[in-house]
Amino acid sequence: MEYVQLLEVMAERRKRNKLARYYPDDGPLRRDLYPKHMEFFRVGKRYPERAIIAANRVGKSEGIGGYELALHLTGRYPHWWEGHKFIKPINSWAAGDTSKTVREIIQAKLLGPIGAFGTGLIPGDCLIKTTAKTGISDAIDTFSVRHASGGASTCVLKSYDQRREAFQGSEQDVIWLDEEPEMSIYAECLLRTMATGWFGGGILMCTFTPLKGMSEVVKSYMDKAE
């Protein structure tokens, strides 16, 4: 009976520390098999604006955008991490198309399913508090996360259907845009990160499939590409 209980405790701990299982040193999911992902993380030390513009179902949202945001929120960087590191708690936004898709994709990936918060990319022992969004069933507006340095990081979940005005205001250390926004929203997010972080600026990450073709946002990255 004690052995069974021990296995149950170990399984629960594993379920509530999903972040630590990503990109292991060896095995069938070893990080050597994900060179594009590793390059995206690595260049974050040099560039405040980054985008993964790729096909669907290649791990953009969870394995790249959500994963890096979770590292910055918690300060729990793996031993192999070569990207930018925050040594103190951060303020952040994560945004997507609509409140519904943010709830079903971004919120679920970061926090876990409804009723099981702490089983997503944010480890259960780091999740301090969640605040519900008014008017949207089961949707979270803001959550706070314990940072490894002490103190708490915050993340606000936003959606593009709130329009550009909802992206005005406070400075942010990290902004993750999952799916392509209009240029007006992108520009506002860029402004929010310009006065924080290192070298006078924070981090803006985009993960999306270019369904709009050669849009203003896509073209801006093509023009800046080295």
Q: Which pLDDT score is estimated for 201? A: 65
Residues acting as catalytic residues: 179
Q: Would you state the pLDDT for residue 142?
A: 97
Token reading at 55: 């096909």
Question: Please, are residues 173 and 202 in contact by the beta-carbon 8 Å criterion?
Answer: yes
Contact by Cβ (8 Å): 103, 135 = no
Cα within 13 Å of Cα(32), Cβ side:
5
Q: Which residues contact 54 (CB under 8 A, 6 or more apart)?
A: 36, 60, 209
The whole-angstrom separation of Cα 89 and Cα 154 is 8
Domains and CATH numbers, the chain: 12-224 (3.40.50.300)
pLDDT digits (tens, 9 = 90+) for 51-71: 999 988 788 999 999 999 999
Buried b (16+ CB within 10 A) or exposed e, 162-179: eebebbeeeebbbbbbbb
Helices 216-224/183-192 angle, 10° precision:
50
Residues of the chain with pLDDT under 50: 198-199
